Structure 1
Amino acid sequence: MTLNRTEKLGYAFLAIIFIYSLYLGFTNPEYFNNTFTAEDHTVEWGTAIMLLCISLLCLFRLFTISKGKSTTWKIGVFLFAILFFFGAGEEISWGQRIFGIESSEYFIANNAQGETNLHNLVVGGKKVNKIIFSQLLMVAMVIYLIVVPILYKKMAWVKNLADSFAVPVVKWHQTIAFIVSTILVAVIPPDRKWEVYEFAFGVIFFLIFLYPLNGFIFEKEYVKNVE
């Protein structure tokens, strides 16, 4: 398992974040909850920036190396750009606190935090965040991080599907990084520790999109074999 310089820096950065988070979590939980991981503070902004970086990376690829590539490749890259842009916007409630925008009556009445975002909506007495962004996302993550890499190497149709739609396949050290992150976050005592997990999610996914197992799909020469 060989890591390039960027990957080493990324993991070193993650290590620093977790060391600091663990330190604050055990020594100053009030500061951890009310400042470090609070709305519009360090961790939340870090997550939003990482998600936005992934979106911009996808758009950069779409506008610079898509010439001659298949329609499915372009669709895949475009959808990922939209997905992570949506995630970044949701993370900071689309900038409403930054610009002082009041939530509409609908969001005030149906959003757990009275904010303009979808992940905190309450439907039928249940938070969308818990149903979709926690439970379903966790299942999807397990499939993506563990099942897909195995099937990608063993089943041709899975490989062809992933490559055709420009789906970055994770390397095992990236999967391990997620598992270690999950364990470390579980150890942190304060309630808002999952904000740190989201930040780690953003950093690791940025590394996945930069250096996936099937990185050749983002090379100009790959195009000819995709149609």
Structure 2
Amino acid sequence: MFFPKSLFLVLFDEDGVFKYLTTLFFLLSSVFFVRSLSRKKSLFINSYILIIALVCFFIGTEEISWGQRIFNIETPESLKHINYQEEITVHNLIPPDYHPFIYLVISLCCLVFFAFTNNRRYEALFWVTKKYLPSKKFLVIAFLLPLISWYNMEHFEVILSFLFCVYAFQLFKKFRSS
């Protein structure tokens, strides 16, 4: 076999390579988004970018349980009872049976957002001008996200984090050069 299943499982394990890549991509996204903020932009655009930066930071730190295993932090007893993985996380308060549906909704929202914002006719729906939005290339990935989310949530997370990292980097580059 070209790629052993055991290696695949290790890479996508709870503390595996792809879990940390997901964290890295989301945290880098957050940094690039913050670095894209500027006084030249309107308050609305800066707020849009800052909200995305904060969401990426939150998701990135949630992925590694806010550093719980890295810094050997004990989960408070009250949280252990309501968190199905007994971690300091918000996303594990929701039972895993609902995760595929939540990921599917996130995927569809990304698809709608990337599809409609890349169409001049619908651009005004989101109140953000085209130059602040991801390129049409993201449509392909956004189109595949619902399928990926149904197949495997860890794959979904790493691809979504990479998608946002590239978007943030493109935004950063665009405004650093102007």
Q: Does 1:80 align with 2:49?
A: no
Contact 2:104–2:149 (CA under 8 A) maintained in structure 1: no
Alignment of 1:107-126 (within 5 A): 107-122=79-94, 126=95
SS in structure 1 of the partner of residue 92 of structure 2: coil
- RMSD across aligned positions (CA): 3.2
Q: How many angstroms does 1:107 deviate by?
A: 2.2
Q: Does 1:195 align with 2:159?
A: no
- Give ranges in structure 2 of 5+ residues lacking alignment: none
Q: Corresponding residue for 2:105?
A: 136
Amino acid at match of 2:117: V
Q: Does 1:145 align with 2:114?
A: yes
What TM-score results when the alignment is normalised by the length of structure 2? 0.81
1:69-123 deviations in Å (ceiling 9; x for gaps): 321122112211111000100110100000000111232111121111111113x
What TM-score results when the alignment is normalised by the length of structure 1? 0.65
Q: How many angstroms does 1:169 deviate by?
A: 2.3
Q: Does 1:36 align with 2:11?
A: yes
Distance 1:69 1:128 in 2: 42
Distance 2:24 2:78 in 1: 28
2:140 to 158, 167, 176: 176
Distance 1:48 1:195 in 2: 12
Q: Does 1:95 align with 2:70?
A: no
Alignment of 1:55-66 (within 5 A): 55-62=30-37, 66=38
CA 1:148–1:61 in structure 2 vs 1: closer, same or farther (change >3 Å)? closer
How high is the sequence identity, in percent, across the aligned residues?
A: 20
* Consecutive aligned runs of 4 or more in structure 1 exceeding 6 Å deviation: 184-187
Q: Indicate the structure with greater helix content.
A: 1
Amino acid at match of 2:135: K
Q: How many angstroms does 1:56 deviate by?
A: 0.2
Aligned residues: 177
- Give ranges in structure 1 of 5+ residues lacking alignment: 1-21, 188-192, 222-227
